[in-house]
Homo-oligomer: A and B are copies of this chain.
């Protein structure tokens, strides 16, 4: 007795299989498989019979069974650090979009930065995913990358020490350099830097850009580095420290390793009556939404994270299709300077001073 929704003994619906479709269409399961997978050389009439049965039975192939025989997985593991909530959704959106275009799905998990814990996560993903996208900006050169299963295509995103793996980097150094060059071009002479957490690759590359910018655009001026941790609070503290300096020691510009700290710094400076940008120009990094909302809006460096995710997935898909292709290349994505009025030249209209700083 044929039933359109076959049921098991418990009453829970059982999903239709190739067999069900084959029976309903009066063909063999081989032919059903061919049609479902879009193989050529199937009679038009047969095809439509099968398609109808698929529709009627609401048939969806069991992907596990399929991957068992094809030895392929259409699942991509995406491992992102716990902290990057800020960019998390944009990256995931980009990856998902690119994946869907290729008929792939993404399996998302957080990694902690603890190498053992993270290795366990990766291991749990093997035998389940066809490839891995990993972003671990806080890890040292050793841990994750070197422990990855050799048989798994991997693209590292903005992660240190690829160990010969394909990698897509953010060119933080170039971005920082651009910010420094802009500060120099608008007439600033002495730029302080609010650094990010030391082990973070973004932070250290931005710091390196700051130092090189000093050499390249500020005649090798001495660095002035304030510690920070990417959080608003640490930027605020740095701003306080700057405000506490004797006027002649104060920098006339601050380049913060990210926007959150730049905002914190701006808050502290303005509380101390220091004018932005007249007294101190301010530049950040990331172009978070807030950067455009504060007044004066933040000059910053922007990276399109969704595009970053799309590209990373494209790379990975390439590696999966052709494992012998150039999967070892390291590619970098260049961020873009976004100039806003927090970086205005010193010669601002004097009328502006009366305006309250609306941060």
A residues at B contact (CB < 8 Å): 5, 10, 12-15, 58, 60-68, 73, 75, 78, 82, 84-86, 88-90, 92-93, 96-97, 100, 105-110, 121, 123-128, 149-151, 232, 263, 267, 270-271, 289-290, 293-295, 323-324, 356-359
Contacts and interface: CB of A to CB of B under 8 A. Distances in A.
Contact of A106 (B14, B73, B109): B109
A105 B106 CA distance: 11
Contacts of A88: 88-89, 92
A267 B109 contact: no
Top 7 nearest A-B pairs (CB, nearest first) are A64-B64, A356-B356, A13-B151, A88-B89, A85-B89, A60-B127, A108-B108
Contacts of A357: 356, 358
Contacts of A13: 150-151
A148 B145 CA distance: 40
B15 A127 contact: yes
A3 to B, nearest CB: 13
A177 B290 CA distance: 28
Given A109-B96, A359-B359, A15 B151 contact: yes
Contacts of A358: 267, 270-271, 356-359
Given A64-B68, A89-B89, A293-B263, A14 B151 contact: yes
Nearest to A121: B100
Contacts of A92: 88, 92, 108, 110
A323 B12 contact: yes
Quickly give the copy total for this chain. 2
Nearest to A95: B108
B270 A60 contact: no
Nearest to A62: B127
A119 to B, nearest CB: 12
Contacts of A126: 15, 60
A62 B58 contact: no
Contacts of A356: 270, 356-358
Contacts of A110: 92-93, 96-97
A124 B105 contact: yes
Contacts of A150: 5, 13
A283 B106 CA distance: 38
A266 to B, nearest CB: 9
A116 to B, nearest CB: 15
A130 to B, nearest CB: 11
A95 to B, nearest CB: 9
A59 to B, nearest CB: 9
A68 B62 contact: yes
A53 to B, nearest CB: 16
A127 B61 contact: yes
A33 to B, nearest CB: 14
Given A68-B68, A106-B108, A295-B359, 10 more contacts: A60-B126, A63-B128, A64-B64, A64-B68, A85-B93, A89-B89, A108-B108, A232-B293, A267-B295, A270-B356
